[in-house]
A and B are shown apart, each in its own frame.
Chain A
Amino acid sequence: MKRKNNGKDFCMFALPGMFCFFAVVMVPFLYGVYLTLTDWNGVARTKNFIGLTNFLGVIKDGQFWTSLLLTFKYVILVVLLVNILAFFLAYLLTRGIKGQNFFRAGFFTPNLIGGIVLGYIWQFVFSRVFVNLGEATGWNLFGVSWLSDPTKAFIALVVVSVWQLSGYMILIYVAGFMGLSEDVMEAAGIDGATGWRKMRSIVMPLMMSSVTICLFLTLSRAFMVYDVNLSLTAGAPYGTTAMAAMHVYEKAFTSRQFGVGQAEALILFLIVACVSGIQVYLTKKKEVEA
């Protein structure tokens, strides 16, 4: 009986969603891949097949590899900080603390402000508040704007990203904790497992599916950071904070090397795909089915 319904099931359940996805994401993506093999510059009427010349251009583009290295550093920091912070905040926010709804709403607000306004506000924080603070206290740490020093500008970028992404991840972790049955937590309490041990031996394994999702999301988002990069530092000071995605965009549209930019985007995609593939494989192994 099940077998007979398979085709109908597929058409009803899977097909509409798959159609949207393939039409909007996969087809343009494949077309984009094709474009990397041509000399099309985004404007010209003709496209000539030029093989892998654009990829040679990528290899020669030293800036791209520098930005990629920087992106790796950034990703490691952001992924770790976001997930640790979000996991524990979500844990606290599902333990029945007074006003936890209010807190949850608050932690979500970073998601409500996007784009240029977000960058603008944080620019103020780093170049004004901190500088004022530095003047008042005499602390060297805040003496000059963080955004004018390469290392500190990088840290600023990490801070803002953690601030923004963790708000999103808290939501997913909260949903995960809500999905755990209270029995599990209670049982753990009665058995005498307390605090840290309870967390490690009982909660963590059950939360692994949330962890997988959040790790994956932070990983991919951090790799593709663009908005915050553009609005907070725009690569400043002197191009030291330009991450891979921003470099790709600049290559394609500012430097007008559309094919090379497109090829760099493809390479970036492959790298992220490998890294997150490994991550998903590793964390999935630890998941427990409910």
Chain B
Amino acid sequence: MYALVRPYEDWGDCMSKRGIALYLHVHQPWRVRDYTVFDTAENHDYFGPFSESHRNNKEIFEKVANKSYRPMTKLLKELLDTHPDFKVSLSITGTLLEQAEQWGPDVIDSFKALVDTGRCEIVAETYYHSLAFFYSRSEFEHQVEKHRQKIRDTFGVETSVFRNTELSYDNNLARWADEFGFKGILSEGWDPILGWRSPNYVYKPVGTKNIKLLMKNYRLSDDVAFRFSNRAWEEFPLTADKYDNWVNAALGDDGEVINLFMDFETFGENIWEDTGIFNFFRDFVGRWLANPANTFYTASEACETFEPADEIDTPYTTTWADTERDLSAWLGNGMQHEAMRHLYDLEGDILRTKDEALISDWRRLTTSDHAYYMCTKYFTDGDVHAYFSPYESPYDAFLYFINALRDVRFRLYEHHRHGDL
């Protein structure tokens, strides 16, 4: 256990500035087109190009690039140039990088320009934004390595802090990340886990040696990510002034770091520019840094700067999703379980083919969004899911996914037939 009152010699830490660790997640999946049973075994192109506009990956990428990636990277660069203390952490999935390479190389250049300032950290995760940790440790590690390599190749930097898909997290994951050598890991600052404690400190996951835990302050994060444009919210409209007061109040006299974690697409895509979200963010950063006692930290800096305030025990999996903060939006019904089980059952056979195209298609199907689109929790969390699903119904999403998976099986069968296995 860690003493809550620190020994005298550690007081130097207390001189560290109060900070914000801003972390933004950048991701697009390879959506499965309306892939029917008549395509199965005939046509192996699951991800387009195709005409249905809601599932047209290229059109969606271009829309989000224009509404969010381009204007937000521009704003972040401006803030980095203006404020020497401004810092940001990003996790960018492999699937998003693949799409950007094909359809918007300038978007990658914009991210590179941020990384090149030395004050934008890239956070590690699975290349395919998958739930592999819960199904196959070997596939999970492969996807983490593949992502690290992709980040190395694209940005020339190493990753040292890990986040798992949808901020899913538990003790096992923390132990794995510790042994893997990460210095930090991110999770939801969920009250049942924190108990009386505040998310505004750095923690240590139970049963680990070196790794530190940064927990999302979901109230302040969601004020921006979910409530900013909500006219029915009693705090609407949220001004930079008001938000600055809230962050200051949340930190109090001895708080260390506010972890603001959200989707990058919050800026411009989920919340449109005409709501004033970009100006709000610019103003807030200026206001926050106007106080010389304040600063920003990258994720790894926050881990290095502060000593753990306590140990955190997370015996079950938490995520940053929904009111339950669990995986039920991904693995909550029979369709989702069946789809994932059939998918991961193929792992060994798929990898043995050494067929790059087949392996890549199979891995693209591990992206968690596919399972999310099959979510049937309509009646409580329904609005959020309805907004983020490109399919007419969760049943359609399941159908096209299973049809594609059957085609993957067919291709496996072809390998067997030709004696490749």
Question: Does chain A bind chain B?
Answer: no
A residues near B (Cβ < 8 Å) are none
B residues near A (Cβ < 8 Å) are none
